[in-house]
Structure 1
Amino acid sequence: MTCGRLAPAEAGEESVSWVMDCVADGARIPMRLTAVREGSTLAVFFALHLTDPGKAELPEGICTAQTAELA
């Protein structure tokens, strides 16, 4: 498994984003994760695509919209 940092999402008071590459049955499966803090609440969003790893995207709009519901 390997990890790498991504640009943080524009959501919440603080956020961090990263990608983790896992291997299952010889196939590389990237997981994209974003953790967002809004006040005392921490939310974690993630995306993976088992059949087409190239489609593992976590749209920033999802993080922004869901974090707005926490406020």
Structure 2
Amino acid sequence: MKAELINEFYLLQQSRVANKYNDVLEEQVYAPLKDANHKMTTWISERGHMLMSLDVRLYNSMKHLRKKYLKF
């Protein structure tokens, strides 16, 4: 009986260590990576929207200049 209790106590400690390791891993590795990934994707998305609006403005300006100066 005593050996079984010691074994159960050892298994309980091991499970706590695994849970603590998972918490530390989540807190120190996965959370910062998730935050950095979110920042990069939002930055890339904002840059893409900015470039698309710039492309539309350029196309409209070129169309206006073609109509004004390149009359065939």
Higher strand share: 1
Structures share fold, TM-score greater than 0.5: no
TM-score using structure 1 length: 0.23
TM-score if structure 2 supplies the norm length? 0.23
Structure with greater helix share of residues = 2
